[in-house]
Every structure is written in C-alpha cells, then in structure tokens.
C-alpha cells in the first residue's frame, strides 16, 4: 500500500511538471506572437527573443526545483551564481538606463529589460534555493564534489581585464562600455560550471535541466545572429580602430554558442548509446 501511494504521488508530481513545462512553452509562444505582431521590427528583435528564451530556461529550472520533490540534482550552483552576476552587471551597469546596447525597435524600450530582469530574479531565487536544499538534503557531499570547477575567480578576473581592454563604444562612456563588455564575457564563461558538473556527474541529466541547456543554446544562437548582423554596420560606422573590439564581441558570442552546442553533442551522443551522461568519454571543445 505504501509503495502504491508513493508511486501515485510520484506520478502526480511528474504530471504537474509536464503540465507546468507545457504551460510555460505555451505562454512564451503567445507572448512571442504578440511581440512579433505589435512591437517587433525584424532582426532587431532577435536580442529580445534571446533574453526571453533565457528567462524561459530559468523558469523551467524553477519548475524542476519546486515541482519534482525539491530536486536540485544536476543543477550547478556555480553556474547560477555566474548568471546572477552577469545579469546584475549588465542591467545595473548598462541596459536599464543606457540604450547603447539595446534593440533598436520598440522591444528595446522596456520589454528586453523586463525579460533580463525576470531572468535575474529567477536566477537569484534558484541560487538561494539550490544552496539551501543542498545543505539540508544532500549535506553538500556528492553535489558539491561534482560542482567543483576550479579557477572561476581567475576566469571572472580575466573577463574584467579583457573588458577594460576590448570593448565597443555604443554607450559613449568607457566605463559603462567596459561594464557591458564584462557582462558579455562573463556570459561566455557562465555555462562552464554546468558543463563541468555534467562531465563529473556520471548520471543521466534530468529532462528539465536538458530543457534549460537547449533553450540557453537557442538564446545564444539568436544573440549571435543579432550581433553578427549588426557587426558590419557598427564596425564601419565607428572606424577601423573599433574593428578589433567588435570582433571580440562576435568572438565571445561565437564561443558561447560553441560551448552550448558542446552539451548538445555530448547529450545526443550518450542518448543514442543509452549510457549515463558523463560516462561516455565526452569530448571537450
């Protein structure tokens, strides 16, 4: 009787997760169609679409943490911290009150910032929640051992130095241009702890965590397309001296996309072989 009750409860939880995931995707699709019809102005909206997909990715992690018996397995706390830092730096240091790096259409007036602000709130909440659940339920043993990528402080320091040396000038203020560039470079490194944890876990990645990585990859793709499309116009309008700086932005977005796609390659390779993720000799790019 106890076994049947537990199985029934697990089935209900799983069903709630599926319903929550479907509702999130449906809600996003409705919002996307409304934005496309009333606010979008072609390729300029790709940056807003990228921000919306990232917020949706964090929403699905919230569903995983809240719905699946408070499960935080497979979620990198370091990754959440990196994203929280990156989003906070970009919002507070640039996009909330400066318009140099905002989409040129109506979505850049408020919608892009709202999407990033929502992603920041969700990322901070997840960081606090995952840390608490790990401490209470796991005692910090296995999860902490897997989520132990070294050198993150040095990586963040390198992003700051790189941003000060190589940044665009769309805000017309060296400090605030460097702040935006720092967030861009931090975003490139933000997924590394999750990839590290994935390689160490030795177990299959749960479905909602997979959704998060897939949506993040898609978000990075649209962001890369936007900046690649804008590169020629921006670089030539600012002169040859800024060409190298814009190339760094394009390179950072390309690296984000490559690192995100690395997960997908490993995931589908191990899915095809039906072996646990992290046990199939994953190759790092």
pLDDT in tens, 119-142: 999 999 999 999 888 887 755 567
Quick check: is 98 in a domain?
Answer: yes
Which uninterrupted H or E stretch holds 114? helix 111-133
Most confidently modeled range among 165-179, 195-209, 224-238: 165-179
Task: Answer yes or no: is 3 within a domain.
Answer: no
Residue/partner pairs of 66-70 with CB below 8 Å, 24 or more apart = 67/13, 67/16, 67/17, 67/20, 68/13, 68/14, 68/17, 68/206, 68/208, 69/10, 69/13, 70/133, 70/137
Mean pLDDT over all residues of the chain? 80
Does the pLDDT of residue 279 top 60, yes or no? no
Is residue 11 a part of any domain in this protein? no
The yes-or-no verdict on residue 241 having pLDDT over 60 is: no
**Residue 131 falls inside a structural domain:** yes
Share of the chain above pLDDT 90, in %: 32
Q: In the prediction, which pLDDT does 272 show? A: 56
pLDDT value at position 118? 96
Residue 81 belongs to domain spanning: 21-35+43-273
Domains: count for the chain: 1
Domain-located, residue 10: no
């Amino acid at each position: 009787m106890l076994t049947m009750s537990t199985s029934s409860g697990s089935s209900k939880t799983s069903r709630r997760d599926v319903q929550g995931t479907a509702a999130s995707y449906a809600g996003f699709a409705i919002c996307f169609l409304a934005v496309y019809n009333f606010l979008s102005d072609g390729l300029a909206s790709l940056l807003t679409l990228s921000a919306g997909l990232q917020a949706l990715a964090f929403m699905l992690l919230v569903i995983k943490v809240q719905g699946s018996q408070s499960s935080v397995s497979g979620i990198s706390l370091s990754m959440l911290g990196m994203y929280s830092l990156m989003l906070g730096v970009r919002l507070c240091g640039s996009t909330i009150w400066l318009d140099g790096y905002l989409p040129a259409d109506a979505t850049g007036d408020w919608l892009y910032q709202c999407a990033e602000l929502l992603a920041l709130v969700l990322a901070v909440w997840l960081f606090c929640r995952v840390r608490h659940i790990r401490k209470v339920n796991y005692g910090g043993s296995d999860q902490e051992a897997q989520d132990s990528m070294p050198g993150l402080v040095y990586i963040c320091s390198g992003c700051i130095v790189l941003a000060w040396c190589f940044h665009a000038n769309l805000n017309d203020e060296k400090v605030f241009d460097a702040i935006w560039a720092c967030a861009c470079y931090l975003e490139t490194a933000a997924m590394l702890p999750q990839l590290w944890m994935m390689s160490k876990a030795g177990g299959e990645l749960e479905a909602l965590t997979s959704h998060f990585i897939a949506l993040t990859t898609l978000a990075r793709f649209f962001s890369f397309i936007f900046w690649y499309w804008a590169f020629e116009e921006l670089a030539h309008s600012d002169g040859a001296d800024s060409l190298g700086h814009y190339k760094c932005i394009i390179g950072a977005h390309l690296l984000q996309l490559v690192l995100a796609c690395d997960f997908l390659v490993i995931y589908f390779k191990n899915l095809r072989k039906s072996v646990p993720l992290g046990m199939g000799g994953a190759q790092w790019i």
